[in-house]
Chain A
Amino acid sequence: MKPTLILVGADKGGVGKTTVSRALLDYFARKNILTRAFDTENPRGSLRRFYPATAEVIDLGNVAHQMKVLDTMETANVPVTVVDLKAGNLSYALDLFERIGVLEAARNGVFNMGLMHVVGSSIASLDEIGEIAKYLQRIQYIVARNFINETNFFEWDEATTRKYFSAIPKAQEINVPKLNEMAYEQVDVAGVTFKDFIENRAADGSQGKFSFVLRGYVRKWCAEIDAEFAHVQMLQEILTGGRQPGAH
């Protein structure tokens, strides 16, 4: 099947971008799909802390690093590549990918490509969507509304939202559900994947000493994320190996 490149980005920091990247990598791990991950938060990507074996820190402006991600898409034999874009770097990255022909290749079907755009609750988040719309023709675009560590209040009204979304043909929306702060913090402190936390496995592979209660809350949260991801077409195509569900 064709490999899939998933960009995870946001134009401002602190909206839970890396959390969404982690949720994605975890999701694929639970579904036994191999992934590669690149963190563009050079030189100190936090994604690498959680996925030392999978994630690599790169500088997107560096041509050698661009090659490491893009030229190996087909040869790596890994169906999913996740790139966690540095906060505030979304427009820059899309512009760069447009210039070096990545978006064009995706539009021509060389590989599948999706952008998961993590947005916070403020109206400024919608402006970001307007700014990047021009890059998104025939690219799967998923807006992830992040509730994980914020209020559950979104300033968006229906009419404004529609105005922005009408410019993007393949847009889907998901909600990243709220996770109890204490549980979130414990996973952070432990520096493990959500999956390992649930299974009570420490970063070095030994038996963990994580709270049963907090593990339970993380497990419930993962189930909620799964339910959200279940209606994202791009992700489901990866799980079914590009086939339509039910097809032989």
Chain B
Amino acid sequence: MAQAPTLYITCSDQHRNGKTFLARLLVDYLMLDGRDPFVIDTDAPDGPLRAYFPGRTALADFSQISGHMKLFDTIIGAPGRDYVIDLPVRHMEPFFKTVAELEFFTEAHNAGFRIMVFYIVDRAPSSLKAARAVQEFPGIDLFVAVANEFVGTSWPRDEGALVLPDLPRNLAIAISDKRISLRSFVLGDRQNLPESQINVLSSFLSRTMANLSNIEPIFSMKKLSG
């Protein structure tokens, strides 16, 4: 059975820890998996994700009511596909507050969506605390703690986290170029990356994509165990 349409929400309470990179990886992963994700980047007016995914990204300024409408009404108005919502740090709390006020997750469930939250937990104890608060938020079907090896994590090892392997600095900078498509790279297009970086990136992407593909079995297990 095909998996249900899903809202993937990427967030964190800390800046510069790879959240937008995670959202990007997720979109590429979903597309490689044959899904048709639509991205809503609430980091207007910057919207870094739009440059990577033109044609499947909407920018919504979550500090405005019109932004709430662009985000929530778009999703409710066009169910049946996956959405990746990237929340910048400053919008995370307002986002969950608004979700509660509008009972958005209930409405999304009624529209057939599953809700998965990917939370990058970094080393600070405050990050763990903030992550726990989101983990407890009602209506989330799967909470995925994400440990970015580059920044470290305070998430307990025995609870399991999605690991983003460390990337050499020069490679991280190279692939942040808007013209680089990770999806094309996986499909064999090396996009003029230097030979020295190709193996490292291949290994990074194969590990990351494998980690992401483990999410569905985890979700099913969780559902089975009730």
Distance between A158 CB and nearest chain B CB, rounded to angstroms: 32
Contact A182 B101 (CB under 8 A): no
Task: Tally A residues with Cβ within 8 Å of B.
Answer: 10
Contact B72 A212 (CB under 8 A): yes
Interface presence of B133 (CB below 8 A): no
Contact of A217 with B102 at beta-carbon distance under 8 Å, contacts A212-B76, A212-B107 already known: yes
Contact B101 A216 (CB under 8 A): yes
Q: Within 8 Å CB of B95, what residues of A?
A: none
Instruction: Mark each residue of chain A from 200 to 238: 1 if its CB lies under 8 Å from any CB of chain B, else 0.
Output: 000000000001111011001000000000000000000
Contact of A182 with B73 at beta-carbon distance under 8 Å, contacts A212-B107, A216-B103 already known: no
Contact A213 B65 (CB under 8 A): yes
How many chain B residues sit at the interface, stated as a range, is 10 to 19
Q: Out of A180, A183, A212, A217, which one reaches B73, CB within 8 Å?
A: A212
Separation of A216 and B71 alpha carbons in the complex (Å): 14
164-199 of chain A: CB within 8 A of chain B: 180, 182-183
Contact A216 B69 (CB under 8 A): no
Q: Within 8 Å CB of B104, what residues of A?
A: 212, 216
Q: Within 8 Å CB of A180, what residues of B?
A: 65
Smallest CB-CB separation from B99: which chain A residue?
A216
Separation of A4 and B129 alpha carbons in the complex (Å): 54
Q: Within 8 Å CB of B102, what residues of A?
A: 212-213, 216-217, 220
Binding site for B on A (CB under 8 A): 180, 182-183, 211-214, 216-217, 220
Binding site for A on B (CB under 8 A): 65-66, 68-69, 72-73, 76-77, 101-104, 107
Q: List 19 A-B contacts (CB under 8 A).
A: A182-B66, A182-B69, A183-B65, A211-B69, A211-B73, A212-B72, A212-B76, A212-B107, A213-B65, A213-B68, A213-B69, A213-B73, A214-B69, A216-B101, A216-B102, A217-B65, A217-B102, A220-B101, A220-B102
